[in-house]
Structure 1
Amino acid sequence: MKNLNRNTRNIYTRLIITYMLVLIGIIVAMEFYIIANFHKEARFNDLENMKSMNQDVYEYLEETASIAEDIHHSLYLNRQQLQDVIWLLDLSLEEYYNKKLGYYTDNKGVDFMGVNSFMSEAISRYSNIKNIALISIKNSVMHKYEVDGSLRNAVYELQRDMLNEKTLVIDDSIIFQNIIQDPSTFKTIGYIQVAFDKSGSAKFEKRYNKVKMLVYLDSGDILYTTEKEKFQDVDVASIVEKGNFESSYGVKYYRQHKKDINYITYIDNKEFGIIPIADYIMFVLVGLLLLFIGSNIVNWRLRKLTTRLNKILAGMEKAMEGDLNIQLEVGHEDELDIISEYFNEMCCNLDSYIQKSYIAQIEQKTAEMQALQSQINPHFLYNTLEAIRMQAICNDDKEVGKMLYGLSVVFRSQIKEDNIITLAKEVYYCKKYVELFEFRYKNKFKFELNFPEIYIQVPIIKFIIQPIIENYFVHGIRLEDENNTLSINIYEAKNDLIIEIKDNGKGMAEDQILDKLNEMNHGGNSQGSIGLLNVHRRMVATYGNDYGLGIRQNNPNGLIVTIKIPFRGESNV
């Protein structure tokens, strides 16, 4: 007898190592999953920040351009102001002041709303304006009105390439330029330039942290950039249009083009989607905490299980020594309790089980012997039928003899024939089977057979047509009528041979046919009877899934059952 006092520490060690490896794997996988998602989220946030900052800068510059448009538009709303501006731009300064003095003289007591009041009001209305300038094309003079209210007049040569520009970059200013026309002649007499400080866009850099900015005109002039040195003396427009901006500067960027301004926000590749170190430290600490808690729970649980397992092993050892009165403790309602309960029950009833098992074996052997002795020998039955048939012929009862002959032929086909026979033999046996029913249901049905001779040697598994015919006589024949018809037709279809059994009997409903087909194709239990299911299964097992039985309705009454077997056009296939 082997000693069962084995050391369960081996089981405990294997289990604790297994569970710890699983726990560590789960925690590491979870950490990688969380980090990957945080990294994905960081990339998404960086992209969204670039888009948001880009949109904010665009909206800011749109706002400044709108302010410039509003000032230009409001100039035409007051006739006095517009007239004063036209005089200023179209006349020399001496002529302008004389003209203005003459107006005051001719219109005593009337407040003159001139260019000074217009500029003062515009600058006071918008706090982010740096200055407003009026440029005379005729006199090549710039009249610049500063925020502090001062006016500076200077010679200004308007360059040809600046005539059609709406946006200019001069020094640290973004300037929006609009033409001024004399409404009476529609002649362009000058320009109005509204200047804003370029650093107005810098406020967005603090809001979006890592995101940097580059704003430039289609002409290539840079309106604003976070990194002046990087884009100094560089044709940024050409680099962007060629699609080399990202690779040239090692950045991820987002760009939109509005009117004549290009807005680019970008983040260095080394900072794009980066998770802060503090987050990594937090992930590691959380993982270690989970590992500590999980390992303690697993260790506590395994210790309890191994303690109970030791008690079960000790009880088995006593049972093997012959102590069948041992009873193990039960009370946790788990798998080990099931083992303990079964062990306790086994110990209580072991002798009874041994006796019952021994007696049962003896009774089983006896039953088998009796069954063998009581079985009817099929050969004895066939020989007895043949003897009865010969006696009937001797008594000149040819009809009974003919019936017995048909029945004996059917029995012989089941007893002596191999599993594979010719189609001619199968049809012959079926014909003999039908003859039995012709005696029984005389003048009740008609049997037709269409069997071309070229198919007589086609090999076929035996006993596949007769069960279908039997099914008709059991379930389909209409005994109250005398026009019952049963026919067998055999013909080729491509590379297959079709045996069609057609009747005009009671038939089946469409849903019954579908249920029967489903049973044949997807499994069912024939409960030992030889029926359609049995025939279909034998054919599928022999010929494959493409062959077997088919069932359909025969209009107006009855069924058509088809048997499909492989056929290559040769009689000896």
Structure 2
Amino acid sequence: MRKNSISFLKIKVYRRKFLGTTIAILLLCTICFIGVTTFFTNIWAGQQRQEAQDAFSVIERKIGTIKDQLNEYIEGCYASRTMMQDAMALFAAGSEEEYLEKRLANSRSTSAQISYMPGDMKKLFINNRTQIRGATFISESGIKAVWQDRVSGDMHVTFDLDREESALGIPGFGDMILASYEIRDPDSIGRQLGRLTFWVDRDDLFRGVNPSGAWAVMQEGKPLHTDYTMEKEWNWIRAAENLEESQGAFFGSGYDRIFYTVFPSSQYNFSYICVINSKMLWRLNRSALIGISFVLIILAGGAVLVSFVGIRNDARFLSYIMQMLGAMENGDFSVAKNLEIHTEHKNEYGRIAIALKDVSQKLEGYIRTEYVMKLKQQEAAMRALKHQINPHFLYNTLESIRSKALVCGDEETAEAITQLGSLYRKIVHCPDVITMKEEKELLELYLRLMSLRFAGNFVYQLELEKDLEGVRTPGFWLQPLAENFFSHGFDRNNEFNLLILEIRSEGGGVRALMTDNGLGIAREQLEAIRKHMHEGSDDPDADIGLRNVYMRLQYFYGEDFTMEIGNNPEGGARISVYIPTQAGKEETDVHVVDCG
């Protein structure tokens, strides 16, 4: 039956095969996961490089647009005579008073309206396309800064700066030089007036440039602008700057791969560097990795399930074979009879199992035939022996001995002879199948004799439920169980040797429980007795009483019958017999006279 099939994990060869297959599948899926992850990581790195290229293009376009506007402005200044006069005055002035004096001189020397270059620059400051935040005029007379007040919108000129970077302290001046121009005298091109430098705010210039990973704009080894969150990302940027290839990957700490891209500007003096590590790429594409993992897990689970089903089907038939062989070794052929082998899944193992089942059934029939024939031969021999002895001769002899014992006043001996005669009559006239009440009375006759033999230190107690008195059972099987007590458990030095028999209803059958308070059975001896009772033994000294009782009752009651022997926790031995009331066969050819 299916419920009796052995799990294939208990079979060593299939357990190893399943574990090996599972490990191989998991290893293959792990390799596939690593390969697929590496493949997609390179694709995601390529996408990140494309983002970096787009960001670089945005920066170049912004800078190009601003420089184009500044070039137009400078050209416009050269084209305006009055604007260049004011620029020359601003470059030459060392203070604000000197600048005003030079402007006044320019006003007297011409009838045209003079220009104010700081005011004219306002159009660069308010133009969102140029994003100019300040300008510095550097000449031999000093450094001047032109800037716009963000609150009022007015243009201001600051004189007497000790160095150009001092202008960075002016609020809203800007923090990055975008373009610088050498300004010359338009009347004498060889005469240099000074240098005009335009400043922008880094944050304004690079706003909207936000690719994945860390990035930096480098100029001659110095960062113009950077965007990174960890110090190690800055180290990656510096490492990428020193590499010969413009893009690629290198290993960071451990097995972390760093993907980098370097874009040197072909028009302006700066390089855009972007780096990102594999862990960041995995976090950004977490959903894709989860999807890949889920698909691989499903594939691995499906492969393991297919392997499990295939191995389980093979192991099921092998377990059938093992069960049948084990049961046949113990002489139990009911297991093979009740096994349900599904032929739709039949393979080589299945054909072997079916053939073995057929052999088991045929062998059971042969053994049963041989066993019944042997029992009939033994029964015939016993009946012949019964007829050879003249019962009346024995009865008369025992009666004569009893009469002499009474004449001599030995009532105890007379009682013993009476009990022996009654027992002998029961045995001679006992049919093959009797009631449970009659079987109990046979045992009681035997125990009365043992009470006379061991007077004073042996007592017994027999209990039989009223409803079970008519249950049919093979005759003369309780006495061999009681004899085991006198053979193994009776202690002559004990003042109180007790034997108890309880026969009660249990489930759908009858439970006969025989217990004593004797010496019990040693563990090694108990195992040997159990083995001999169920399997038989070639030992000539082995006790055959329990074996014969077991074989007779099993043959009579079938597979639902059980017989167990063991020790009581509180001391002594016990024998438990369960017999089904519905399964017994009213056989008349069972060998009943076997005292062991």
TM-score, L = length of structure 1: 0.40
